[in-house]
Structure 1
């Protein structure tokens, strides 16, 4: 069976969660006798390709990459529905001639892809890896950094996010977009977009976004959701036919070796960005009496958000903290073997983060913020603990438990596990296809 996997960006330049998920699925589909092709894009602003469509191989699997420098978005509306993409998408689909299209992210492709698939009568499915389908910033994070449930009736909360993230050209505009005035201004603009002047079209496009995407997503016969929270969030915002499919992990699951007495080895692995909450972790360590019984290794690039990374280095001054940079994905089991605890202090909804599941699979207990999308994998006291989101003192209290009982981490390691593999989640793909009218047969 020929399967076209559409993802917003891909290896070798992009290698985060959704890209990794897509790559693992492609490998498994190939190994099961199918013919996957990955269709991806170069973001506008990245180095231009030599051709509109670039072709190459990853893991001996064909990849087609469209250069968005040649097809940039013209305004906010085209970030979710870009009719100008339809012709090139139809050309790509005619070349691949897939039995199924499976979308792992619509960014860069936009919902125009779904219209093309519908017109070409290609069965279309998806995996939802974030909240793009109904959230303007993909993260369900409100403009005041609180957690959000989705667009309100007038989209005033979406407008508030747009205001927060838009550059302000003068002091008055900056004040209107500031935290104090923003709730009032966004509600006024939701009712009277014309008051926004030249920005009225952007506000109108933002207000139309949820309904346009909900309508386009009806093209999907069904979609996989990697966490109960994400499935429930989409259903609460009107989406249907979602199937729960937890991510699978392929790692050495050998028991952790006993380590000599020494500091409890904490680790953070991920982006160094404010919403990831690493500053709360550093603040918590500083609050722990006897913190010399702890050590923290921070793995992540300091070049993506250099100002924040520099702030973290200042916060870490005088603490038992080492900045380790990045590492090859193949080294994850080795990295986990050298940690006693993984800490994920995110301040926004995480959606079944792979690093959490990798920790559990390698018998590494976790300390996580109590945000949905992670807590469903937690068995408190057995494979980890949760603390209140954004509360450094609450996190410090959890860390004190390990300082006061050094054997706790070893006991928890023995009851920490995660058995699901990438072959399991690939079988979920194929089972979903069959349940929705597609005959699954190896090529």
Structure 2
């Protein structure tokens, strides 16, 4: 496979986390799979002409370095959407002709690279290392070093600094100042930088700065639209981009992988003091001052601190140097300076505890997992994605971000509690390997590339398992026997326990297995599978209950039904009872918006001969027991609403699709055999609880504009229908069934949704 890697810097010149990870990822693609890798990156060499290209081969990778010192930048827009670099990138793309691209960062390059890939039909994957697509400062930290909840509603103009609203002359002046700064000694250069920083706001036009900020946000949303799929190393950053407007199903949360080899056989030497370490740039957002302030509150000589990293100004603000200097001169503090990345394992082996005191919402700092590989617990800020990897009291300790007193409290625990450090070491979890990471990414590349090459619609099937391993195995085997091949069979284990895995050993090599870690209900469990299916490039997704068996011709008939109706987005089969194969469970669903009544058409009727059944019949909904959904429906409507947990989410989804212009059809020639009542027993009070609550919820969401009188009539009708259903049903006691309906109605009124 020919893979284009795009990143804003690359080792050995660049030493940042994203750059190091991009290099490791590309190297493993080459070593394990033999892929041809072309890296497009940036360097800044004042001695070379702007935008010249330098090429080299390193570690089996072909690398093109584009020189960008920003001396030709003439507007704020040029700083992220650089047409000159975009044109260079387009030529390189056309020459290399990649099968797929993986973008790690675009700062200092050009966002137009993503558009060029989209125009050529090249699948583009994007790892979200930070917030740069949302925040031009990259870390959601404003000019006062406070975490920004934005960018809306107030925009980003106050944070643009010297780049916002200054016009072309302002950028020419800035380029001239940078040229002078490079020719001056360090002290005068810093003084010049301070003068320019003070003058910039005077020259800036606040109104134009606001327009600059709004244009950037609108442009970045278009860039996100052109990305095929995102990788998010933490749930935190995933949620930020969902909030920004990226559909959740286009983001896969996948932690970074690491090369374990450098950490093997590390030798640790005991010490009388507690040895603390900080690894990273000495910059305000990384907040080493919080650590140095905290140790000043501890007993003298109780700890020592090693700072591994070089000082760095933050977006041109050099004032942090003055704040940090006296703290670094404390007793017991050793400034080791920057170290090469291959020296990180040895640096970690020389300390007892790594401290990560960041004040910006870190994504997933590489150094935390590297510390774990070295057997070193971590004390870190409770911010961003850090609590996802550092579990307080298990493998480290957490403290309030920016609070030196709270950090001192955590460090005091390590001094005062014998055995705590050993307990934290014992709790260090396994760390994902870079090989595992790359294999997951490459499988997703491959799925997209195959779909692009062959033009066949990619089909994924999701089987939802909740403590029904034998049924799940039968469902999987029926899918594997389908005449229409299923590209991905995804089994979602929707439970905290993983006891059902062994039951699938006969089909293990043919499935993708996902664990949710808890019972998320039908909607939540299916959503986990849908996200995985869409991430692997599925054009159509088949949702399958574990107690359903699909005949070999079933999927073919469903697809033909979708193809025959251009506006159809969802297709469902005739559902037959497994125990009585001639008995119909559902011919689709009807819904009466006035009364709120929902019915499974044909329930308990006898199955008509195949030639008597319509090929395609429009219905209000089809059962989630088995439904085939076009990808476009998820793109337009999102996934299942997880407020339901169990029941009515299928009809809600079909009605939501209708409002977005997609019809739901019954494929009369397709059948499925369904047992029913496996996850929640047919007579269980929980079934009646969810039926009442979710029926009311679905009806309200289906007709949100109904007047008070109409809404009251509909709600009353639904309650009476559910009371009648509970009274006429068998299983359990009548008081338990009626009590469940009452609780469901009460919780609907109170707005209590989701799981039990």
TM-score with structure 2 length normalisation?
0.52
Q: 1:153 to 1:303 in 2, by over 3 A?
A: closer
Q: Does the 8 A contact of 1:143 with 1:164 survive in 2?
A: no
Where in structure 2 are the equivalents of 1:330-349 lying within 5 Å? 330-349=342-361
CA–CA distance in structure 2, aligned partners of residues 303 and 146 of structure 1 = 19
Deviation of the 1:15 alpha carbon: 1.8
**Cross-structure match for 1:239:** 246
Distance (whole Å) between structure 1 residues aligned to residue 70 and residue 94 of structure 2: 21
Q: Which residue, out of 223, 228, 232, partners 1:216?
A: 223
Q: Does 1:142 align with 2:142?
A: yes
Moved more, 238-247 or 69-78: 69-78
**Secondary structure, aligned partner of 1:292:** coil
CA distance in 2, matches of 1:220, 1:52: 27
How far off is 1:140 after superposition?
0.7
Partners of 2:256 and 2:452 in 1: CA distance:
21
2:380 corresponds to which residue?
368
SS in 2 for 1:274: coil
Q: Tell me what 2:108 maps to.
A: 108
Alignment counterpart, residue 272 of structure 1, candidates 279, 282, 298: 282
User: Which secondary structure does the structure 2 equivalent of 1:64 belong to?
Assistant: strand
Distance in 1 between the 2:286 and 2:425 partners? 24
Equivalent position of 2:43 in the other structure:
42
Aligned to 2:433: 421
How much has 1:69 moved relative to structure 2?
4.7
Assess, with a 3 A threshold, how the Cα gap between structure 1 residues 297 and 244 changes in structure 2: closer, same or farther.
same
The answer to whether the Cα contact below 8 Å between 1:222 and 1:436 also exists between their aligned partners in 2 is: no
Q: Is the 8 A contact 1:159 1:203 kept in 2?
A: yes
More deviation in 132-141 or 407-416?
Answer: 407-416
Q: Counterpart in 2 of 1:192?
A: none
Which stretch shifts more, 381-390 or 211-220?
211-220
Query: What does residue 666 of structure 2 align with?
Result: none
Give CA-to-partner distance per residue, 1:384-414, whole Å, 9 cap, x none.
Answer: 0010011110000011111112532133212
Provide the secondary structure at the position in 2 that maps to 1:55: strand
Using a 3 Å threshold, how does the CA distance of structure 1 residues 246 and 314 change in structure 2: closer, same or farther? same
Matching residue within 378, 392, 395 for 1:380: 392
Q: CA deviation at 1:17?
A: 0.8
Cα distance in 2 for residues equivalent to 1:419 and 1:345: 21
Question: Which residue number corresponds to residue 92 of structure 1?
Answer: 92
1:23 aligns with 2:7: no
TM-score, normalised relative to structure 1? 0.86
Is the CA contact 1:75–1:202 (under 8 Å) kept in the aligned structure 2? no
CA distance in 2, matches of 1:49, 1:175: 28
Q: CA separation in 1, counterparts of 2:419 and 2:134?
A: 45
Q: Please, which of 276, 279, 282 is the counterpart of residue 292 of structure 2? A: 282
Q: Secondary structure at the match of 1:150?
A: coil
The 5 Å alignment of 1:392-411 reads: 392-411=404-423
Q: How does 1:114-129 map to 2 (within 5 A)?
A: 114-129=114-129
The number of residues matched between the two structures is 419
RMSD (Å) for aligned C-alpha atoms = 3.1
- Residue-by-residue CA offset, 1:278-320 (whole Å, 9 max, x unaligned): 11111111111x2412111111114768764564341143421
Mean CA deviation greater in 97-106 or 49-58: 49-58
Structure 2: state its 5+ residue gaps: 171-193, 454-756
- Say whether 1:299 aligns with 2:308: yes
Q: Return the index of the structure with the highest Cα Rg.
A: 2
Distance 1:148 1:436, change over 3 A: farther
Instruction: Determine if the alignment matches structure 1 residue 230 to structure 2 residue 275.
Output: no
2-structure distance, mates of 1:38, 1:176:
36
Q: Equivalents in 2 of 1:176, 1:355: separation in Å?
A: 36
Question: Which has the larger displacement, 423-432 or 365-374?
Answer: 423-432
1:160 alignment counterpart: 158
CA–CA distance in 2 between the matches of 1:146 and 1:440? 45
Provide the rounded CA distance (Å) in 1 between the counterparts of 2:362 and 2:278: 15
Preserved contact between residue 272 and residue 308 of structure 1 (Cα < 8 Å): no
The residue that corresponds to 1:181 in the other structure is: none
The match for 2:63 is 63
Distance 1:381 1:82, change over 3 A: same
Instruction: Please point out which of 353, 360, 364 is paired with 2:365.
Output: 353
* Displacement of 1:90: 1.7
Residue 432 (structure 1) aligns with: 444
What SS is found at the alignment partner of 1:394?
Answer: helix
8 A Cα contact 2:380 2:399, kept in partner: yes
State the Cα distance separating 1:349 from its structure 2 match.
Answer: 1.1
In the alignment, the residues of structure 1 paired with residue 70 and residue 380 of structure 2 have an alpha-carbon distance, to the nearest angstrom, of: 42
Is contact 1:269-1:355 (8 Å) kept?
Answer: yes
